[in-house]
């Protein structure tokens, strides 16, 4: 799956005018990991220094209680749909497995 475009570094390089300050918010991630920390805290900062621009890299939500509550609430509200989805996936997987075994039996091959 491709990343959301444009890449932040590509975007910064394409700009002809820069503000005095950039704030970097990793909207695609809810927790810090090495890629987000490296991209925002090092690469973006270094590039912006070349442009004479200061930066702030905001932290991800990580284990903020508000995020955890939102995730739990979303699961609770949708748990019937989630369970139904799991049942459908299991049934489809089981159906594929049964069809494979039937093909093996019909063709007298060991599967």
Q: What is the pLDDT of residue 7?
A: 85
pLDDT (tens digit per residue) in 55-104: 998 888 888 899 899 988 988 888 888 888 778 877 777 777 666 766 66
Q: Say whether pTM exceeds 0.85.
A: no
For residue 27, the Cα-to-chain-centroid distance in whole angstroms is 9
| 72: its two tokens | 């739990």
| pLDDT of residue 19 exceeding 90 | yes
């Amino acid at each position: 799956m491709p990343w959301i475009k444009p890449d932040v570094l590509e975007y910064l390089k394409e700009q002809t005018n820069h503000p005095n300050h950039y704030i970097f918010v990793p909207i695609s991630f809810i927790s810090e990991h090495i890629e987000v920390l490296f991209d925002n805290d090092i690469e973006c900062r270094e590039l912006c220094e070349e442009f004479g621009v200061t930066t702030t890299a905001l932290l991800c939500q990580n284990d903020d209680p508000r995020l955890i509550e939102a995730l739990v609430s979303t699961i609770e509200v949708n748990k019937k749909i989630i369970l139904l989805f799991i049942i459908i996936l299991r049934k489809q997987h089981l159906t594929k497995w049964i069809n494979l075994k039937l093909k093996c039996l019909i063709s007298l091959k060991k599967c």
